[in-house]
Amino acid sequence: MLAPLNVEGDRNPSSWNDGKVTTTPGFAQAYRQYAEGGWQGLQHPQDFGGRGLPKAIGAACGEMLNSANLSFALCPLLTDGAIEALLTAGSDDLKAVYLEKLVTGAWTGTMNLTEPQAGSDLALVRTRAEPQPDGTYKVFGTKIFITYGEHDMADNIVHLVLARIPGAPEGVKGISLFVVPKFMVGADGTLGARNDVHCVSIEHKLGIKASPTAVLQYGDHGGAVGYLVGEENRGLEYMFIMMNAARYAVGVQGIAVAERAYQQAVAYARDRVQSRPVDGSVAGSATIIHHPDVRRMLMTMRAYTEGCRAMASVAAAAYDAAHHHPDAQARKENQAFYEFPVPLVKGYSTEMSPEVTSLGVQVHGGMGFIEETGAAQHYRDAKILTIYEGTTAIRPTTSSAARRCAMAARRPRPSPRRSRRRKANWPRATASPRAPCSSACPRRAWLSRTWWLSSRSRARLRPTPCSQARCLT
Ligand SMILES: Cc1cc2nc3c(=O)[nH]c(=O)nc-3n(C[C@H](O)[C@H](O)[C@H](O)COP(=O)(O)OP(=O)(O)OC[C@H]3O[C@@H](n4cnc5c(N)ncnc54)[C@H](O)[C@@H]3O)c2cc1C
């Protein structure tokens, strides 16, 4: 159902008329089928109507969904992020009202960070949320580039919005997170009046054309009613939980579109007859898959795709162990391990996808450049993956491990003479970090701060000694 709609979405994108967005014909019906099949809740808790399956399974299913239709899959992807944020920071009341509807796919979720002046730099967010006597907030401002910010596929849309409460500190420390529903929700879960959030236009894009990318105007008619998620001024922290889930999922989108481009290129190469193979294995003209350079391209595509899939699968397994392992220490270690590859899954898998889809076009020769073949759509669709959910340049520099790498690279290297003298004076830093005296051991802390350095680089840094006689490190 979804794979044939992929081309249709490219040729007949979502359209805007007087505040309403109509998605590509077939999308609304496909979404109903998707939700009724229970796919939205695949990896979400059973308490809220989900299936409670591991992320490793969710990621594999997500890849297939994205391979079939990248534009469609974005909607469930953002709903997953909203669910994750509410599960982590939402009050019991918010969870009771919104989670089941999101998990079952009855409603969809969005992520509202970007504003005209605040893209990569969220410290510049200006949308404001004014506290009301009844404990709610009135939200005012403009959000741009909001994926599935308006559509006709579900009854309600739950916007998660970053905004500032008056008097909040400047910069990222003064940003809070709010739930702003498109339709107000009654205590019994029924839908009420339209909230004051309106879609004023949607973008015309290079790729993923079927997914509506909305400009949302909050509060032009008295203020959009919003509900604070968690505590004031901790919005960015909560949003990063949502974004970490979304960034992993965007990495999987890269793998998915690469896989589809690869499968299409292989099928074409097995079919297209052109030229005699250089090794003389076929007397006359042969299918182009016989040519070493075509095989090189196909194998490059496959190697990139499978390598990235392996990386994403290892990360998903770590996430599952971090949440479900019976041993608390193993959970902690797996969580630390999971956080390290997430920027790599996002950064590398998305950067490789335009390369792989470009090779897909190349394998098709002139036909790859012709829209009817479909190879060009994968190439155009893939480009956004390196941009949204944090551009490639932003993501690695904001991960703490990568930031430490960058700082270490900037640190001046000691001259060889000074280095020799220091090495002679300092204890060698080769001991195992697995044998500390206690969790408060300063040496253990030093080792864990520097584990990612090579032993040579680590030896250049001053190790923190431990005064405990029984310390094995
Ligand atoms: C189709 C689409 C869907 C989107 N969906 C959503 C959505 O659902 N919700 C949402 O909130 N946003 C969404 N976005 C916005 C998207 O996340 C931003 O476009 C992205 O974060 C980049 O911000 P920007 O466009 O303002 O670019 P800018 O921040 O202006 O960056 C421009 C260039 O400068 C570089 N740059 C900026 N700062 C640095 C730095 N410190 N170091 C190195 N390089 C830097 C960037 O890497 C980039 O190459 C979407 C965007 C698009 C196009």
Predicted local distance difference test score (pLDDT) of residue 280: 86
Residue 359 lies in a domain: yes
The reply to whether 143 and 203 lie within a common domain is yes
The H or E element containing residue 140 is: strand 137-147
- pLDDT tens digit string along 230-274? 999 999 888 887 788 899 999 999 999 999 999 999 999 999 999
Q: What percent of the chain has pLDDT over 90?
A: 78
CATH number at 255 reads 1.20.140.10
DSSP secondary structure code for residue 95 in this structure: I
Residue 168 lies in a domain: yes
The pLDDT of 166-182, averaged and rounded, is 96
CA distance 6 to 3: 5
- pLDDT tens digit string along 352-409? 999 999 999 999 999 999 999 999 999 999 999 999 999 999 865 445 554 454 444 4
Residue 398: exposure state from Cβ atoms within 10 A (0-12, 13-18, ≥19): middle
Q: DSSP states of 276-338 as a string?
A: --TT--SSS--BGGGSHHHHHHHHHHHHHHHHHHHHHHHHHHHHHHHHH-SSHHHHHHHHHHH
Final residue before a domain boundary, out of 382, 401, 420: 401
Q: Domains in the chain: how many in total?
A: 2
The atom of ligand 1 lying closest to the CA of 387 is 20
Does the C-beta of 394 come closer than 6 Å to ligand 1? yes
The reply to whether 243 and 121 lie within a common domain is no
- In sequence order, what are the residues at sequence separation of 6 or more whose Cβ sits closer than 8 angstroms to the Cβ of residue 129? 137, 138, 139, 140, 163, 164, 165, 176, 178, 226, 228
C-alpha 94 to ligand 1 mean position (Å): 29
Angle at Cα 355 formed by Cα 352 and Cα 361, nearest 5°? 140
C-alpha 435 to ligand 1 mean position (Å): 44
Amino acid at 238: Y
Annotation says 389 is catalytic: yes
**Residue 428 pLDDT > 70, yes or no?**
no
Predicted local distance difference test score (pLDDT) of residue 464: 62
CA distance 257 to 259: 5
φ/ψ (deg, to 5) at 193: -70, 160
CATH number at 15 reads 2.40.110.20
- In sequence order, what are the residues at sequence separation of 6 or more whose Cβ sits closer than 8 angstroms to the Cβ of residue 469? none
Q: pLDDT-derived band of residue 419, with 50, 70 and 90 as boundaries?
A: low
The reply to whether 251 and 357 lie within a common domain is yes
Residue 467 lies in a domain: no
The reply to whether 396 and 350 lie within a common domain is yes
- pLDDT tens digit string along 25-52? 999 999 999 999 999 999 999 999 999 9
The reply to whether 378 and 262 lie within a common domain is yes
C-alpha 125 to ligand 1 mean position (Å): 13
Domain hosting 255: range is: 239-401
φ/ψ (deg, to 5) at 411: -65, 130
The reply to whether 51 and 163 lie within a common domain is yes
The reply to whether 179 and 213 lie within a common domain is yes
Whole-model pTM: value is 0.85
Does the C-beta of 446 come closer than 6 Å to ligand 1? no
Final residue before a domain boundary, out of 355, 377, 401: 401
Does the C-beta of 216 come closer than 6 Å to ligand 1? no
Residue 321 lies in a domain: yes
Residue 453 lies in a domain: no
User: Measured between alpha carbons, how far is residue 60 from residues 18, 32, 65, 99, 109 in Å?
Assistant: 39, 21, 9, 23, 21
The reply to whether 170 and 246 lie within a common domain is no
Predicted local distance difference test score (pLDDT) of residue 426: 46
The reply to whether 174 and 269 lie within a common domain is no
Predicted local distance difference test score (pLDDT) of residue 253: 98
DSSP secondary structure code for residue 464 in this structure: P
Residue 420 lies in a domain: no
Residue 432 lies in a domain: no
Predicted local distance difference test score (pLDDT) of residue 281: 85
The reply to whether 226 and 258 lie within a common domain is no
**Minimal CA–CA distance to 94: which of 154, 149, 158?**
158
Residue 139 lies in a domain: yes
Q: Which residue(s) pair with 139 in the sheet? A: 129, 224
Tallying the residues shown for the chain, one arrives at: 473
The reply to whether 224 and 352 lie within a common domain is no
Does the C-beta of 305 come closer than 6 Å to ligand 1? no
Residue 394: exposure state from Cβ atoms within 10 A (0-12, 13-18, ≥19): middle
